[in-house]
Amino acid sequence: MQDISIPFFCFSYFCKNVKNMIVLTGSAGFIASAMLQKLNEVGIRNVIIVDDFTKLTKEPNYINKKFIQKVSRDSFFNWWDQHPDKVSFMIHLGARTDTTEIDENVFDILNLAYSQQIWKRCTQWNIPLIYASSAATYGGGEYGYDDNHEIVNKLQPLNAYGRSKNNFDKWVLKQEKQPPFWAGLKFFNVYGPNEYHKGRMASVIFHAFHQIMETGKVRLFRSHRPDFKDGEQLRDFIYVKDITDVIMFLMNEKPIPGLYNLGTGKARTFKDLAKATFAALDKETVIEFVDTPEDIRDKYQYFTEANMQKLRKVGYNTPFTSLEAGVNDYVRNYLTKGKYL
């Protein structure tokens, strides 16, 4: 498919004749570009995509998908203020996601203040909103992994990224005026196609695949806690295709507004992940353990597992993809072929 974005000179005319547009922020990135593909698959093309489009490594994520127009992240609010009656839904997945970034100001601008501006406009113009929160808000898991609004103010994230996401969640829950529907999705460990550009922040599956292809083995972090054996640290790994399915459900059903966990509800070990990656490549499992880097060692989560009861209770009944099935699809159909979703 070709990019069918409309040239700037005729876009104003087009906007006069098209309503019910969906805005998707972060569209050049991993999860949002997968969401754009999902929208296309169900026949939705009236999408405004928003991001910093200067990073050419992200271009393959969106260039062959269908949308109305690209709008720069920096000029988006100006665009929106000119076309408030044309937007029917906001999917806000854009964010600074680097968990090793220590400059709080970066997160305050991109993750907090920017999101607040989106919330205020959605409230003012009566536009439903889905936004990306994160499981990083749960910190070390001292209060568990329940998407209960009562614990949000108690949470102690382990890094600036997690704090920025939790700060927005806290701000949202204080707002008396709200969009007609809203959902903040606490993404757990997402993996899948379209993360080629993420570098160090790409999923462990992505790195495991490349390590196997280059060296024939996978390096996993050694445990620095006596209650966890090497490679048996646990994460709730969720396939990006499941993420897009849930967002479609929320868009269509608009259940009770609130924060929702988005994992599988079943934690798996990094050993399981490595074995699944080797199996997808039809290779024997070879694992080497290395020390966790000191810059993230004191912020490292040894266990995450989403409590998925809230989402299930509002009617989402679709089974989540197992780790083995998700890794097999990702490796065989995307990574080995250099293919995008």
Task: Tell me which of 70, 143, 196, 198 is the catalytic residue.
Answer: 198
Beta strands 129-134 and 87-92: pairing type? Answer: parallel
Structure tokens given for 2: 């070709």
Closest Cα partner for 136 from 156, 150, 153, 119?
Answer: 156
**114 included as an active-site residue:** no
Please state, in angstroms and rounded to a whole number, the distance separating the CA atoms of residues 236 and 216: 26
Token digits of residue 229: 């054996």
Q: Which helix (H) or strand (E) holds 209?
A: helix 204-215
The CA distances from residue 154 to 52, 109, 165, in Å, are: 33, 23, 14
The DSSP call for residue 335 is: G
What is the distance, to the nearest Å, from the Cα of residue 130 to the centroid of all Cα atoms in its chain? 12
Q: 40-44: long-range contacts at Cβ-Cβ below 8 A with a sequence spacing of 24 or more?
A: 40/1, 40/65, 40/66, 42/248
Query: Which candidate in 161, 191, 239, 260 is catalytic?
Result: 161
- Residues 309-324, buried b or exposed e (16+ Cβ, 10 A)? ebbeebebeeebbebb
The two tokens of residue 12 are 């104003």
Torsion from C-alpha of 183, 184, 189, 190, nearest 10 degrees:
50
Active site annotation includes 161: yes
- 72 φ/ψ angles, rounded to the nearest 5 degrees: -60, 140
For residues 35 and 56, the answer to whether their CB atoms sit within 8 Å is no
List, by residue number, the catalytic residues: 161, 198
